[in-house]
Amino acid sequence: MDYEETFTPVAKMTTVRTLLVMASIKGWTLHQMDVKNAFLHGDLQEVVFMKLPSGCVLPRPNGFSQSSSDHSLFLRTSPTDLPTGIMLTQQKYASNLVATAGLTDDKVVYTPMEINTKYKEADGEPFSDPTLYRQLVGSLVYLTMTRPDISYAVQVLSQFVANPYRVHYTALLCVIRYVRGSMSRGVLFRSDSPLCLEGYIDANWASCPDSRRSITGWCMFLGTSLISWKCKKQSCTSKSSTETEYRAMSATSLEIVWL
């Protein structure tokens, strides 16, 4: 009954990427660990099923009354040491995502979304399986941790999870076909990179056909290494392109100060 009130705190992924850049440049040795103690402290009124010790055989329970969303720091991400630095990918996760989509062909595409295409909230025929749409979009959101190239497309498709239409699902499959053709892509943290922070920003004025709200996009580099990026619809409608740019600069400045 309190699923919406409990959570497991984890490190922000930007922090993880920044530390990986530092380790790559400084030549530090990386160690990975995880502490699974979500249920070892605190007074719980509910029944909590725990994993049985090795050798103990009992009938499998029908379900779990409560479970944790805890993930280890690099679960489903793979940091790989290369001569040029550290490569961070989610290749296995991407492969599982494509399998979940159940594509019946081997087609791949070379861009995640068609250029200058605008999708509306209600457009054509409603999609018959909204749960599948939400599952795939949620998986793509997780994949953007190492794939900034799909951030914009995922941002667009995330707007329709409440009520997806067939045209939205078709666009979603396009992104998944793009992922299938670029499984090994990720972010490279070069060991010869300087330690200087650079930020780039852009905004697209009134790009949403339904709300006329604008899109803010930024990317932050520590030297030559990309450590932070975002593509997000602005919270209110701007009256001019200048106002849109100022709102984008304000949001980006917060990220720069935090970094």
pLDDT digits (tens, 9 = 90+) for 180-231: 999 999 999 999 999 999 999 999 999 898 999 999 999 999 999 999 999 9
- The values of phi and psi at residue 117, to 5°, are -95, 130
The answer for 206, left when phi > 0, alpha when psi is -120 to 50, beta otherwise, is left
What are the residue ranges in the chain where pLDDT is below 50? 62-73, 75
Q: Return the half-sphere exposure (C-beta side, CA atoms, 13 A cut-off) of residue 33.
A: 4
At residue 71, the pLDDT reads 39
Nearest to 146 by CA among 214, 199, 97, 201: 97
Spans of all domains in the chain: 78-190, 193-258
Please give, one letter per residue, the 3-state secondary structure of 85-109: EEEEECHHHHHHHHHHHCCCCCCCC
What's the pTM value of the predicted model, to 2 decimals?
A: 0.80
